[in-house]
């Protein structure tokens, strides 16, 4: 007998949808701004984009990050760094700020109480009502405090973060001046192909699940094209525990700057769509979506954000596997599962994140490591197969190595339809994986276009 599981309310109690749909009102708000600013990328020491704040603005204003409403005040950032909570008590993992240089502040001439027009691709995009202007005294210290240290977080942090960790690089390279205040999008952008087909912000996703009659929805977090191991993970998670089985499987891809060696965003989103279109997971029970976010690779902290995003989208469950949203060996392999099963006191969670006050209500589905067994000729958990000497690990590096050599992987690794998507975008970009050239070119086109707005 299945257990009745109610769809969780949005994190914070309600969705923050901060988008002006009335074009004339948008123009009026734009005309009332004291100054305008062209949004630019955050660059690393080599001039390569690592973040564009427009993605944070989109995710805040469309409700993915509810209850966050804008760029954070200094007191809120300090609360997050110490307790991983917003000033209104709700848990949240990361500082989110609109940062500029001292020279840019001087040129803008804005102060507290002013409204700033934010331009994207040279066109009006959003407004920021400035409630506070504060300084980041030491960006490197902010980067360390954002992710933790082995001394401060011994339960899960194995080694100090450095320039090989993309999230650390983002915070290390923030500009010193923060304009804090609420955002509103006043000129709604449209998504470029192939992203336009997969845009399901929380209000739309919740309505879609109602339309499909899905009461239970489990989310698969991804920054990768799907190999058959991912497919196994989704199918297995959807039939485990209290789901019996779940009504829907949501894939939510993270679209934005990612580390070198990850696949291009276009290949990721279309690769997952190929699983759906090929019927490898029943299309009636499977949907592909995305969220705009420049990955921080923060393992347990990233999983907290992922839980917030998917709870806001209306999911009841979230699957978490080994090394969730991680890079390198900075974190313990199962740090995310520790957060969701018993808590991480040094981050402010003495109990599981679903058991603390003002915590999350989406349920974790913690998955163990799986392998390919050539004897059984199938993917299985290591505990379930007796051929321990023969088992072969699903290595992303090994799979990428095959792709880089132009070898067509066997069907046990990639569905043919998925590999064709990889090759399609390989031919388009002339390389199969993210690299500085791809990131720089994408910064010019982004994922959206904006309509003209005369003001």
- Report the CATH number that the domain containing residue 147 is assigned in CATH: 3.10.400.10
Which of these, 93, 63, 18, 67, lies nearest to 314 by C-alpha position?
63
In a domain, 349, yes or no: no
Residue 157 near residue 148 (C-beta atoms within 8 A): yes
Long-range pairs, 132-135, Cβ under 8 A, ≥24? 132/73, 132/74, 132/178, 132/180, 132/181, 133/105, 133/177, 133/178, 133/179, 133/180, 134/73, 134/74, 134/177, 134/178, 134/180, 135/176, 135/177, 135/178
Task: Please count the helices (runs of H) and the strands (runs of E) in the chain.
Answer: 14, 18
Provide the CA 57 distance to its chain's centre, in angstroms. Answer: 13
Give the count of alpha carbons within 13 A of 348, CB side only: 21
Using the structure block, give the residue that is written with the tokens 């690990």.
393
In a domain, 308, yes or no: no
pLDDT at 367 (0 to 100): 76
**Which DSSP category does 222 fall into?**
E
Instruction: Look at residue 363 and give its three-state secondary structure.
Output: strand
3-state secondary structure string across 22-52: CHHHHHHHHHCCCEEEECCEEECCCCCEEEE
Q: Is the peptide bond before 421 cis (omega within 30 degrees of 0)?
A: no
Residue 330 near residue 158 (C-beta atoms within 8 A): yes
pLDDT at 414 (0 to 100): 86
pLDDT at 392 (0 to 100): 61
Q: Tell me the pLDDT of the chain (455 aa) as tens digits.
A: 345 567 899 999 999 999 999 999 999 999 999 999 999 999 999 999 999 999 999 999 999 999 999 999 999 999 999 999 999 999 999 999 999 999 999 999 999 999 999 999 999 999 999 999 999 999 999 999 999 999 999 999 999 999 999 999 999 999 999 999 999 999 999 999 999 999 999 999 999 999 999 999 999 999 999 988 888 888 877 775 544 568 999 999 999 998 888 899 999 999 999 999 999 999 999 999 999 999 999 999 999 999 999 999 999 999 998 889 999 999 999 999 999 999 999 999 999 999 999 999 999 988 766 666 777 766 666 556 666 665 566 556 667 777 777 777 777 788 999 999 999 999 999 988 999 999 999 999 999 999 999 98
pLDDT at 243 (0 to 100): 46
pLDDT at 233 (0 to 100): 81
Using the structure block, give the residue that is written with the tokens 């907290």.
304
Which of these, 306, 296, 307, 337, lies nearest to 155 by C-alpha position?
337
Residue partners of 412: CB distance under 8 A and separation at least 6: 228, 372, 377, 379
CA distances from 253 to 38, 207, 264 (A): 27, 19, 12
pTM across the whole model: 0.94
Distance CA 3, CA 241 (A): 10
pLDDT at 384 (0 to 100): 64
Which of these, 379, 128, 56, 41, lies nearest to 235 by C-alpha position?
379
Using the structure block, give the residue that is written with the tokens 């990612």.
258
117 forms beta bridges with 36, 127
DSSP β-ladder status, 35-38 and 115-120: parallel
In a domain, 48, yes or no: yes
Which run of H or E residues covers position 99? strand 98-100
Distance CA 282, CA 249 (A): 9
In a domain, 437, yes or no: no
Question: What share of residues in the chain are helix, strand, coil (percent, to 5)?
Answer: 35, 20, 45
In a domain, 141, yes or no: yes
Instruction: Look at residue 418 and give its three-state secondary structure.
Output: helix
Using the structure block, give the residue that is written with the tokens 């580390």.
259
Longest dimension (CA), the chain: 70
Which run of H or E residues covers position 248? strand 248-255
In a domain, 184, yes or no: yes
Using the structure block, give the residue that is written with the tokens 């990721």.
268
In a domain, 88, yes or no: yes
In a domain, 296, yes or no: no
- Report the domain count for the chain: 1
Torsion 230-233-234-236 (CA) sign: positive
How many C-beta atoms surround the C-beta of residue 121 within 10 A?
15
pLDDT at 154 (0 to 100): 96
Residue 235 near residue 281 (C-beta atoms within 8 A): yes
Torsion 241-285-198-49 (CA) sign: positive
List the structure tokens of 351: 């109990």
Give residue 130's domain range. 23-190
pLDDT at 288 (0 to 100): 98
Residue partners of 184: CB distance under 8 A and separation at least 6: 18, 19, 20, 29, 61, 126, 127, 129
């Amino acid at each position: 007998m299945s257990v009745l599981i109610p769809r969780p309310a949005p994190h914070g109690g309600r969705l923050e949808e901060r988008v002006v749909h009335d074009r004339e009102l948008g123009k009026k708000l734009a005309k009332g701004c004291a100054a305008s600013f062209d949004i630019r990328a955050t660059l690393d020491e080599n001039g390569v984009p690592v973040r564009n704040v427009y993605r944070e603005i989109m995710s805040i204003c469309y409700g993915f990050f509810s209850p966050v409403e804008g760029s954070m005040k200094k007191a809120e950032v300090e609360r997050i760094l110490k307790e991983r909570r917003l000033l209104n008590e709700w848990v949240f993992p990361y500082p989110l700020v609109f940062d500029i240089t001292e020279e840019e502040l001087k040129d803008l001439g804005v102060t507290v109480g002013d409204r700033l027009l934010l331009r994207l691709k040279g066109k009006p995009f959003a407004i920021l009502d400035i409630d506070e202007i504060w300084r980041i005294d030491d960006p490197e210290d902010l980067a360390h405090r954002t992710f933790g240290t082995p001394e401060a977080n011994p339960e899960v942090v194995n080694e100090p973060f450095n320039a090989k960790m993309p999230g650390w690089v983002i915070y290390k390279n923030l500009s010193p001046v923060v304009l804090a205040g609420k955002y509103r999008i006043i000129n709604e952008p449209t998504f470029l192909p192939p992203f336009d087909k997969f845009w399901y912000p929380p209000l739309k996703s919740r309505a879609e699940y109602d339309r499909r009659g899905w009461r239970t929805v489990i989310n698969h977090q991804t920054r990768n094209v799907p190999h058959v191991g991912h497919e196994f993970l989704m199918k297995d998670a959807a039939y485990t525990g209290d789901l019996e089985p779940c009504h829907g499987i949501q894939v939510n891809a993270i679209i934005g700057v990612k580390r070198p060696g990850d696949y291009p965003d276009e290949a990721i989103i279309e690769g997952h769509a190929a699983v759906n279109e090929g019927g490898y997971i029943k299309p009636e029970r499977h949907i592909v979506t995305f969220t705009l976010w420049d990955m921080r690779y923060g393992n347990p902290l990233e999983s907290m954000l992922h839980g917030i995003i998917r709870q806001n989208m209306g999911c009841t469950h979230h699957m978490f596997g080994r090394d969730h949203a991680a890079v390198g060996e900075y974190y313990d392999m199962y740090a995310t599962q520790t957060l969701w099963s018993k808590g991480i006191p040094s981050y402010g969670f003495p109990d599981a994140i679903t058991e603390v006050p003002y915590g999350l209500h989406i349920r974790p589905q913690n998955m163990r490591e799986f392998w390919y067994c050539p004897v059984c000729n199938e993917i299985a958990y290591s505990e379930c197969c007796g051929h321990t000497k023969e088992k072969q690990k699903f290595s992303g590096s090994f799979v990428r190595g095959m792709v880089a050599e132009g070898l067509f992987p066997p069907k046990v690794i990639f569905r043919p339809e998925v590999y064709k998507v990889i090759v399609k975008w390989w031919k388009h970009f002339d390389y199969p994986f993210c690299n500085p050239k791809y990131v720089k070119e994408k910064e010019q086109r982004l994922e959206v276009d904006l309509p003209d707005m005369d003001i």
